[in-house]
Amino acid sequence: MTTRRQFLKGAAAAAAFTILPRHVLGGKGYIAPSDQLTKGIIGFGGIGRGHHFHMPDRLVAVCDVDETRLRRGENMAKEAGFGQVACYHNFMDLIHDPNVDIVHVCTPPHWHAIMSIEAAKAGKDVWCEKPMTRTIGEGKRVVEAMKRYNTIFRLNTWFRFEDTFYGLGTEVAPLKKLVDSGLLGWPLTVTVSKHTGFDWKFFWVGKEHLDPQPIPDYFDYDLWLGPAPYKPYNEHRCHDTFRGYWDYDAGGLGDMGQHYLDPVQYLLGKDDESPVKVEIDAPQQHYDAAGTWREIVYTYADGCKIVLWGEDFGDPKTPYIQGPNGNVYNNFICDIPGWKDKLADFPDPLPQQTDFLECVRTRKKFALNEMNGHRSCTIVNMGAVALQLGRTLYFDSDKQEFINDDAANRLVYQPMRAPWKI
Amino acid sequence: MKKIFKSLLVIICLLAAFNLGYSQPSSRKASTVVGDALAKLPAKDMKLYNELANELLSTGEEGMEMLYAMFVKQDESMVPVEMALGAIATKATEIGGDQLESVTEMFKEFADRSQDETIKQFFVRELMVMGVNYDNKNTTLTSEYDPGTTPAPKLKDLLKVVKKGTDNVTLFDMLNRVRDVEAAKSALAAAVPSIKSDDTKADVLWWLGEQKDKGLINTFKSCLGSPSARVKEEAAWALTKTGDSSVLPTLAKLVAGSAQDASLAEKCLKSFPGKVADAVAPYFDKAGDAGKEAILNLISQRQSLTNKALVLGSLFDNSDKVSGAAFDALASVSDKDDLMALFSMLESSGEANRPKIQAAILAALDGLTDAEKFEVLSNRNNIVTPQSKAYYWPMIIEVANIPQTLDIMARNTDNPEMSTKALHAYIVKSINAGENGVQRLLRYREAMNFTVNDEQQCTLLDRIGETGAFQGIMYAAKFLDKKATEVSAANAIRKIATGNPNYYGPAIVGIMNRIRGVDTGRDYSYDVQRIDNYLAAVPKDDPGYVSMFNGRDLSGWQGMIPTNANGEGDPFLRAKLSPKQLAEAQAKADKVMAENWVVANGNIEFVGHAYDNLCTKKKYKDFEMYLDWKIYPGQREGDAGIYLRSCPQVQIWDTARVWVGAQVGSGGLYNNQKTERIPLVIADNAVGEWNSFYIKMQGERVTVILKGKLVVDNIVLENYWDRSLPIPAEEYIELQAHGSRIAYRDLYIHELPSVEPTQLSAEEKAEGFEMLFDGTSLHKWHGNKVDYNVKNGEIAVESRSRGGSWIGDLYTNDEYADFIFRFEFKLTPGANNGVGVRSPGEGDSAYVGYEVQILDHYNDIYKGWLAPYQYHGSLYGIIPAKNRDALKPVGEWNSEEIYMKGSYIRVTVNGQVVTEGDIVEASKNGTIDGNDHPGLKRTSGYIGFLGHGDRLWIRNVRVKKL
């Protein structure tokens, strides 16, 4: 355990009573820097530079293997009023910086597991961007490591507890109340498609043939690849277009999957289990470049289904949630007569722990943590495996492996390039 | 390697014997299988993928070597090769065993052999899929890692720490690692009373609460009385999470406690199942203000009608908070019996509670349709004082439909606040109804008539900018003259035009140049840039859209000359008039026009009772045009239309006239008999409202979009005057007069380049050739007219549409026995098609009829494996092409002639005979492809183009029967 976390001991007790923001421990209007939680960001691409300066924690370190991006991070930190932050080329240095409490993993997904686990080993708490891990096997390791090292882990998507849920025109909470009420019946089918307000962003497809290019001198390509296979450099593999390649992500499914599917898992109450079957309708996938697909269907043991439609596939009039006794459409419209009155008899969903910094102080699990985050990421990764193999797969929800299917399980546990391993 | 190949072959034979889905005929060579597969890869779906993967796998070492050779060559079409090798690896992995081992060995060998890093990595990655960590110096399989187990804390230690009290980091470190949850649960629950530290106790209660165990209820209950707020809070939440009904009275009782307790109870009970409101209601009198507030909030959340009296009784409580909560709850307990009371309450209430009473009134009306609610509220509104009316309008606006909302705006011209409220609702309702841009523009123009200030006009102009509708540009331009609306108008115009670069023409360019000078504020420099980009993209050689109506008089228009007893204007009869007759007839027609057609309200309006159409002075060939029209209400026979090339017509009629079939809507090609005359959808606005047409005429085909909805989709307009002929290539556009009052406005036309029909050469004419496709129409063909599309005087064969499938071939209408068939074609790389001859018009013509191959056989993907009878010009499977060099390079036009007489066939490409022979002779010992050709018996049939989903172009198709 690090000294920083030791320092936090007892802080929770003080914090729990105050109605002021958690970091205001030094008295009104004053934030003692030593009381404030500190954070280091690894990866200054689209996510790292996006929207993470408003957090009431203090940025003290940034890291990127691209020198230009590292400088950009340094400057943005200055502009945001954090002063001079520590700048690292190698993420291990950031993780082991004693001034850092929280490690914010903003890299492409092929790094998420390694960095989260290394941060946990170093006694840091972790804020990890979606998708949580690139393979199901890596996700299992993260779950185990967070437990072993008593780490507070946040997977960063938030629709299960706040914000209008994309094109659905409602937050998730009222939907959860309706689902839990049982008015719709059981099992349910949830359709996630453009028609119900979710675009699968097929512009994230990769290019099927990349000519080797010289590696820019400001860019450590070898470290960027890390555990991924060493393929000749082409700028389209990296930075803003990496999502199109299986080695690092899984196209539009990888990008939006956890945003779109984690709330579905929450709605269906499946935080502790995974689907038992995944079916696909898709053109054959390229070995390197992720492509498009028409349909992916997940089935849970109790018959609940999650249906994904790419592009304009499927009937536009399909409800978001279909149940034996009623359907729910966009903008929280239900076709059960008098449903609003009936629903008033039921309780609201239980509140969730949604203040990450408070969780860091109190050590309570964050609402979306390594456990349920891994389950919703598994939905994404099951789809990616089925797409790559081009067939229907069956999954053991307890063992978290495909059933009697060596080929599919090889994509559950993929090799890492030395020296990286978890 | 040899050995591997042999064992592979054995396996394949075994698999074939057990019929494991190998559809592959044994006679097919590896090269044929690979070539066929490459043409179809990447597979479009799982079925095809499995088929191809099995076939590819069956080619063994030979096929893989072939693919490797292509891969190493690395040109641009390598994706199918990667897909093929990938399919082999994946399929082998699925089957496993020796077969997997063989493929694995091959791939290792390829990885070693390859000099190129990309190719090497390809095989390394595929080997990984096959479970081989080949590049093992550099990789570790994650499955080789043993995660071990996280040591669980000893229960004894945990209890010791808990009882002593500890910091939360240490505590949760232990709690998170607990494996035997049941044991820990009961031990901790038993220890709770003896935990001295309140913080530790609270943390333990939280952990126990997360277990949602009903068995722990008594433990939790015992902590509810704790003086520590944290302990009490965690105990209450732990009880809540059990969801057990026995807990409800305990939690409910809290509302009668301190203010803090009451608020805790409210939060917990909101997430608690059961009759929560009934459980807390009995404590109402005992509760303090905070407790009363909590109870009212819970009554509100559960819409508890049984506790309505509490709500009503608290409306005028001395505590503002209690009274406020009661008014908040009012909507949840109101029903239609309360309506009159609520009305009086609203009319006498203070301002603060008015919105809550309005919400209650709307809740009381729940169950009625919006139309019924509108009626109830309007009736009340009609009888209350002018001051009270203002309290009703917001509710009425909420339930009104779109026209009713506009009506409310019109009735509130003396009340700008209400008028603006109505305007915003009107806009939102139109958008929420999913109305398209064209319809919304019509709506916004209507609302503009009732605006009471510049602000409202600007609001509408801003929205007009979102419509993307053509007429929005010209309309918004009218607001450029007023300083207050200038910027909004300029923004609207810029947005529409820059978002639709196909909207151009002299008037629009003029307006764009004008708004370039309007300072639009912060983004001005960007705006100028956008305008300049737009202007730079305007085609220089195309006038674009020009106005057909100057807004003042009928310049550019003339009367229609009647040519028959019915007063119809037949252009063919008109053409027979002498110049003198024509001049006289025109003068007479113009005189009638002057009486019946007027410019009024800025529109062209027909005010007569006859049938004298208004004709353009100019004749038009191909064009696209916009115009708005409106049927005046109160007429029994509301009817009009737009004649194209002097032929009737794009129909306009009052859809209420069901006795003439008008319920199908306007926009249809009413006079068609063979082709579709009914609109695809009903898109009309009501009589008395404006409608917008976009009409496009290209060749003989017409597309009509009514108010943004496609109603006629590229349909042939028949020649009404003589149906044996196609429509005239050039004639007037006419606004139809049909005895009823009609208005037209905003007429803009864009003339399109038109195709001159290809003519037969003098020789061919003399020899008796017939034109089958002259560049303008497919009226001599049947079959797939979707993927075979007439464009720019050519038949463009479209690539298979995404997600869809090829829907068939294109055939002549006539059948041919002996003939000379001539055509020109242009290919894309690798393109494959074919000419079906003596075909039955369905099925695979290569076998059930004959197929003369069309193929870019120069393409590398075919190199080394094409069978002789698959080259371009071959009579497929029967007579191979002897000359393989006659085809021009891809992208150039080729000419071809197919001569067929009896059993003799000759194919000539670009003047060189490529195939010649006698079919009977060639097939007497069976066909060379070894396949069954039932079509050999046919002596006559259709000629057709046989699609393979590849892109190519065909033109100048002619035929002569021998």
Residues 6+ apart with CB under 8 A from B156: none
d(CA A149, CA A116): 11
Across residues B842-856, what is the average pLDDT? 90
Given an 8 Å threshold on Cβ–Cβ distance, is B117 in contact with A212? yes
Given an 8 Å threshold on Cβ–Cβ distance, is A282 in contact with B122? no
d(CA A371, CA A143): 6
Write b or e for each residue in A175-202: b if 16 or more Cβ atoms lie within 10 A of its Cβ, otherwise e. bbbbbbbebbeebbbbbbbbbbbbebeb
B14 has pLDDT over 70:
no
| B380-394, B711-725, B926-940: which is most confident | B380-394
**Vertex A89: Cα angle to A88 and A95 (nearest 5):** 55
> Which burial class, exposed, middle or buried, applies to B906 when counting CB atoms under 10 A from its CB (0-12, 13-18, 19+)?
middle
* pLDDT at residue A11 in the model: 41
B4 has pLDDT over 80:
no
Given an 8 Å threshold on Cβ–Cβ distance, is A364 in contact with B206? yes
Mutate to test the interface with A, among B49, B161, B169 (most CBs of A within 10 A): B169
Helix, strand, coil distribution of chain A in percent, nearest 5: 35, 15, 50
B634 has pLDDT over 80:
yes
d(CA B129, CA A287): 10
pLDDT band at B23 (very low <50, low <70, confident <90, very high): very low
Given an 8 Å threshold on Cβ–Cβ distance, is B267 in contact with A351? yes
* pLDDT at residue B861 in the model: 80
Across residues B544-567, what is the average pLDDT? 92
Write out the H or E segment, with its range, that includes residue A153: strand A153-156
ipTM for the predicted complex comes to 0.87
Give the minimum alpha-carbon distance from B307 to chain A in angstroms, rounded to a whole number.
13
Q: Which of B455-459, B500-504, B931-935 has the lowest mean pLDDT?
A: B931-935
* pLDDT at residue B925 in the model: 86
HSE-CB at B902 with a 13 A cutoff on CA atoms is 5
Contact residues on chain A for B272, CB-CB shorter than 8 A: 347
Across residues A16-27, what is the average pLDDT? 34
Of A70, A127, A180, the residue nearest A368 (C-alpha): A127
pLDDT digit string, tens, across residues A139-195: 999 999 998 889 999 999 999 999 999 989 999 999 999 999 999 999 999 999 999
Strand stretches in B742-816, DSSP E:
742-752, 770-773, 781-783, 788-791, 794-797, 810-816
Backbone angles phi, psi at A351, to 5 degrees: -65, 155
As a whole number, the mean pLDDT across chain B is 89
* pLDDT at residue A23 in the model: 34
Full DSSP string of A238-301:
SGGGGGGBTTT--HHHHHHHHHHHHHHHHHHT-TT---SEEEEE-PPPPSSB----SEEEEE-T
* pLDDT at residue B27 in the model: 53
| A152-161, A224-233, B18-27: which is most confident | A152-161
Distances (CA, A) of B39 to A202, B597, B831, B866: 24, 63, 9, 12
B586 has pLDDT over 70:
yes
Chain B residues 229-258 with a CB less than 8 Å from chain A: 229-230, 240-241
Backbone angles phi, psi at B922, to 5 degrees: -65, -25
* pLDDT at residue A5 in the model: 58
d(CA B833, CA B582): 52
Closest CB to B138 among A231, A291, A417:
A417
* Residue B534 · residue B544 · CB < 8 Å: no
pLDDT digit string, tens, across residues B333-344: 999 999 999 999
d(CA B884, CA B895): 15
B147 has pLDDT over 60:
no
Given an 8 Å threshold on Cβ–Cβ distance, is A411 in contact with B129? yes
Across residues B64-87, what is the average pLDDT? 84
d(CA B712, CA B669): 8
Comparing alpha-carbon positions, the chain B residue that sits nearest to A288 is: B122
Given an 8 Å threshold on Cβ–Cβ distance, is B78 in contact with A209? yes
Give the minimum alpha-carbon distance from B671 to chain A in angstroms, rounded to a whole number.
34
Contact residues on chain A for B172, CB-CB shorter than 8 A: 150, 363-364
Of A65, A66, A63, A90, the residue nearest A74 (C-alpha): A63
* pLDDT at residue B806 in the model: 56
Write out the H or E segment, with its range, that includes residue B960: strand B952-961
Given an 8 Å threshold on Cβ–Cβ distance, is B129 in contact with A345? no
Kindly state which CATH superfamily the domain B762-961 is placed in.
Exo-inulinase; domain 1 (2.60.120.560)
Across residues B55-66, what is the average pLDDT? 91
* Residue A375 · residue A115 · CB < 8 Å: no
* Residue B755 · residue B697 · CB < 8 Å: no
| Residues paired with residue A277 on neighbouring β-strands, in sequence order | A299, A394
HSE-CB at B57 with a 13 A cutoff on CA atoms is 34
The segment(s) of chain A belonging to CATH 3.40.50.720 are 3-156
Chain B residues 316-375 with a CB less than 8 Å from chain A: 332, 366-367
Write out the two tokens for A410. Answer: 């090889």
Closest CB to B803 among A141, A313, A338:
A313
pTM for the predicted model, two decimal places: 0.72
* Residue B792 · residue B922 · CB < 8 Å: no
Closest CB to B273 among A5, A347, A417:
A347
pLDDT digit string, tens, across residues B790-825: 888 899 887 654 344 556 789 999 999 999 999 999
Mutate to test the interface with B, among A140, A284, A332 (most CBs of B within 10 A): A284
The one-letter code for the residue type at A142 is V
Distances (CA, A) of A395 to A298, A373, A386, A392: 10, 18, 11, 10
Write out the two tokens for B245. Answer: 């009904």
As a whole number, the mean pLDDT across chain A is 88
Give the minimum alpha-carbon distance from B160 to chain A in angstroms, rounded to a whole number.
18
Q: The CATH number of A166-205+247-412 is which of 3.40.50.2300, 3.30.360.10, 3.40.309.10, 3.40.640.10?
A: 3.30.360.10
Which region holds residue B505: left if phi is over 0, alpha if psi is between -120 and 50, else beta?
left
A20 has pLDDT over 50:
no
Strand stretches in B554-684, DSSP E:
557-559, 597-600, 603-606, 614-616, 622-631, 639-644, 647-653
Comparing alpha-carbon positions, the chain A residue that sits nearest to B176 is: A147
* pLDDT at residue A19 in the model: 34
Across residues B194-207, what is the average pLDDT? 94
Q: Which of A407-416, B445-454, B585-594 has the lowest mean pLDDT?
A: A407-416
DSSP annotation of A182: T
Backbone angles phi, psi at B37, to 5 degrees: -65, -45
Comparing alpha-carbon positions, the chain A residue that sits nearest to B173 is: A150
Give the minimum alpha-carbon distance from B141 to chain A in angstroms, rounded to a whole number.
4
* pLDDT at residue B115 in the model: 83
Contact residues on chain A for B44, CB-CB shorter than 8 A: 283-284
B361 has pLDDT over 50:
yes
Is B122 an 8 Å CB contact of chain A?
A: yes
CATH code of the region B592-752: 2.60.120.560
Given an 8 Å threshold on Cβ–Cβ distance, is A348 in contact with B79? no
Chain B residues 250-309 with a CB less than 8 Å from chain A: 267, 269-273, 276, 301-303
pLDDT band at B134 (very low <50, low <70, confident <90, very high): confident
Contact residues on chain A for B147, CB-CB shorter than 8 A: 140-141, 144
Give the minimum alpha-carbon distance from B146 to chain A in angstroms, rounded to a whole number.
10
Across residues A390-398, what is the average pLDDT? 95
Comparing alpha-carbon positions, the chain A residue that sits nearest to B273 is: A347
Comparing alpha-carbon positions, the chain A residue that sits nearest to B174 is: A150
Across residues B719-736, what is the average pLDDT? 89
Closest CB to B139 among A13, A416, A422:
A416
Q: The CATH number of A3-156 is which of 3.40.50.720, 3.40.50.450, 3.40.190.10, 1.10.3720.10?
A: 3.40.50.720
Contact residues on chain A for B142, CB-CB shorter than 8 A: 135, 137-138, 141, 413-416, 421-422
For chains A and B, what is the number of CB pairs under 8 angstroms?
192
Give the minimum alpha-carbon distance from A193 to chain B in angstroms, rounded to a whole number.
16
How many beta carbons lie within 10 A of that of residue B379, not counting itself? Answer: 9
Across residues A276-296, what is the average pLDDT? 93
Of B211, B177, B208, B207, the residue nearest A146 (C-alpha): B177
Closest CB to A9 among B79, B131, B169:
B169
> Which burial class, exposed, middle or buried, applies to B144 when counting CB atoms under 10 A from its CB (0-12, 13-18, 19+)?
exposed
DSSP annotation of B600: E
d(CA B626, CA B900): 50
Across residues B698-711, what is the average pLDDT? 92
- Residue with the bigger pLDDT between A66 and A23: it is A66
* Residue B922 · residue B879 · CB < 8 Å: yes
How many beta carbons lie within 10 A of that of residue B554, not counting itself? Answer: 18
Place of tokens 């007790």: A13
Distances (CA, A) of B856 to A329, B828, B835, B890: 50, 8, 14, 7
B78 has pLDDT over 50:
yes
Helix (H, G, I), strand (E, B) or coil at B819: strand
Across residues A49-67, what is the average pLDDT? 80
Place of tokens 């002929």: B725
Comparing alpha-carbon positions, the chain A residue that sits nearest to B125 is: A229
**Vertex B738: Cα angle to B733 and B739 (nearest 5):** 140
Give the minimum alpha-carbon distance from B634 to chain A in angstroms, rounded to a whole number.
38
Contact residues on chain B for A212, CB-CB shorter than 8 A: 117-118
d(CA B415, CA B394): 13
Given an 8 Å threshold on Cβ–Cβ distance, is B76 in contact with A286? no
How many beta carbons lie within 10 A of that of residue A241, not counting itself? Answer: 17
Place of tokens 């039955």: B840
* Residue A382 · residue A396 · CB < 8 Å: no
